[in-house]
């Protein structure tokens, strides 16, 4: 039941209406939203909802167990039980085939005669997201950052809340659970803001991302035969396809939650206007970036290491595991490793903090952002490639001359989306364009909404496609 489907529209309207009808009964409202969330997840995963319930139950018990004792060894055992359960389920369902095939390939390379047939394991949609979200709760309770939640249904609702369940944002318990206890409110500002986010997210997905997907699929699907122009178009198109697709999902999720009276954290902040790789990760997939920082990088020692080598080691471990989080393939690990190396180089050269140096130099700032965008776009190659061979084929295609790509209306539109998207991102990072847009006369805003709705109707005639991050 993806957000861009008629089934979700019907589902959400019913849940929205029912949720606000029972506002005077807080417990009933949360139970209703919890059951709706379970229905939403089961519609995508069927029986695999059992895994979600297992993680919920283990972490709920672990939180209470940690809070009810001062014995550090007992507290540690509860934490270990939570981590082993969550990471064990994630590891088996997402990485069992990857690790097994890697081990068998290594044995074969050493001359050991072995055969391997992949297990038929279904990847539960959203398992990477809700696993990290649920784990952060027990870790925070263990470190005293929050008190344990004593109500099972409230905790279960936090883990399973449907707008962000499948593809984030990854929500911290200490930022969300207190909202469950508070009386829900739907102010005119929240209503308008939520509807705007949903509208913007659907525009990003249905019109922008899905238009670019045509040229991305063509480039990577024919990497061995296409010309250089087609290869570069495909690579740049993917850079914006994944941004519009994922940020579009996040916008719809945040907007849907806001209409129900809950606030979720932002997940993107104009990432291609970044002036460094360090700044890019402060703008891209923020909920994951901060999760990796707080629950992996800092526990490893972070930047407070006696030697620079220790800091670089921590950065590389964090980014390599961040790459692996995205997918069970060596190409994802390579993608994380490339970003890890660049983060280390930036730290060594002191390039990580450049915003103040370019604050009053708009042209230089745009030039620096353009350079970083090209570097980041190139690193998307292993992320999108279907294996090593596909990655190598497209890499060499980038250096070919000539092109068989005809100049069509669709291609012109895609180029306008890429160029216009980057220019808008950079300008709006320096000038508050959104603030000016909100001041436009009501008829102008109404006309813009009408054009957007008409465009969505036209573009959705191609058929709805799934969101990219559903695969992670």
Domain chopping of the chain, boundaries = 6-184, 189-275+354-471
pLDDT of residue 460: 65
User: Once rounded to an integer, what is the mean pLDDT over residues 141-157?
Assistant: 94
Catalytic residue among 181, 218, 326, 339: 326
Give per-residue pLDDT as tens, 301-338: 988 888 889 999 999 999 999 999 998 899 999 999 99
Give residues with Cβ within 8 angstroms of 216, minimum separation 6: 234, 237, 238, 241, 384
Residue 6 has pLDDT above 90, yes or no: no
Range name among 36-45, 68-77, 100-109, 444-453 with the lowest pLDDT average? 444-453
Give per-residue pLDDT as tens, 35-80: 999 999 888 777 888 999 999 999 999 999 999 988 999 999 999 9
Q: Find, among 268, 284, 265, 264, the residue nearest to 380 by Cα.
A: 284
Give per-residue pLDDT as tens, 265-280: 999 999 999 999 999 9
- pTM assigned to the model: 0.91
Gap between the Cα atoms of 362 and 368, Å rounded: 10
pLDDT of residue 459: 65
Gap between the Cα atoms of 416 and 342, Å rounded: 30
Model confidence at 419, in pLDDT bands (50, 70, 90)?
very high
| Whether residue 326 lies in the annotated active site | yes
């Amino acid at each position: 039941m993806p957000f861009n489907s008629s089934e979700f529209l019907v589902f959400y309207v019913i849940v929205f209406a029912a949720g606000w009808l029972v506002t005077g009964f807080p417990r009933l409202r949360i139970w209703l939203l919890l059951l709706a969330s379970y229905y939403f997840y089961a519609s995508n995963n069927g029986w695999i909802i059992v895994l979600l319930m297992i993680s919920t139950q283990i972490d709920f018990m672990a939180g209470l167990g940690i809070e009810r004792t001062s014995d550090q060894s007992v507290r540690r055992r509860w934490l270990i039980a939570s981590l082993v359960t969550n990471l064990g389920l994630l590891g088996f369902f997402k990485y069992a085939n990857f690790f097994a095939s890697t081990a068998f390939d290594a044995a074969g390379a050493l001359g050991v005669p072995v055969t391997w047939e992949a297990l038929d394991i279904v990847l539960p949609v959203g398992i990477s997201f809700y696993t990290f979200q649920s784990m952060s709760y027990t870790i925070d309770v263990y470190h005293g950052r929050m008190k344990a939640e004593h109500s099972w249904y409230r905790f279960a609702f936090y883990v399973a809340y449907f707008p962000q369940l499948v593809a984030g944002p990854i929500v911290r318990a200490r930022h969300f659970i207190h909202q469950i206890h508070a009386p829900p409110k739907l102010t005119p500002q929240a209503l308008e803001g939520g509807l705007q986010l949903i509208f913007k997210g659907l525009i990003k997905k249905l019109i922008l991302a899905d238009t670019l997907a045509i040229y991305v699929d063509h480039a990577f699907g024919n990497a061995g035969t296409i010309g250089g122009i087609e290869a570069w178009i495909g690579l740049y198109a993917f850079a914006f396809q994944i941004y519009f697709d994922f940020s579009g999902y996040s916008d719809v999720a945040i907007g849907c939650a806001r209409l129900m009276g809950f606030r979720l954290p932002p997940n993107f902040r104009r990432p291609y206007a970044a002036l460094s790789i360090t700044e890019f990760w402060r703008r891209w997939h923020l909920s994951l970036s901060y999760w990796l920082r707080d629950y992996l990088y800092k526990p490893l020692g972070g930047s407070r290491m006696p030697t620079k080598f220790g800091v670089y080691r921590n950065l590389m471990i964090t980014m390599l595991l961040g790459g692996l989080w995205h997918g069970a393939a060596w190409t994802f690990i390579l993608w994380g490793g490339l970003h890890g190396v660049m983060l280390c180089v930036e730290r060594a050269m002191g390039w990580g903090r450049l915003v103040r140096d370019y604050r009053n130099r708009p042209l230089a700032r745009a030039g620096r952002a353009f350079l970083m965008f090209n570097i980041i776009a190139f690193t998307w190659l292993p992320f999108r490639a279907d294996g090593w061979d596909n990655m190598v084929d497209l890499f060499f295609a980038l250096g070919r001359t000539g092109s068989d790509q005809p100049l069509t209306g669709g291609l012109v539109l895609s180029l306008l989306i890429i160029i216009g998207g980057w220019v808008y991102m950079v300008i709006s990072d320096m000038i508050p364009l959104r603030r000016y847009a909100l001041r436009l006369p009501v008829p102008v805003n109404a006309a813009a909404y009408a054009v957007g709705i008409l465009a969505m109707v036209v573009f959705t005639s191609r058929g709805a496609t799934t969101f990219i991050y559903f695969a992670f």
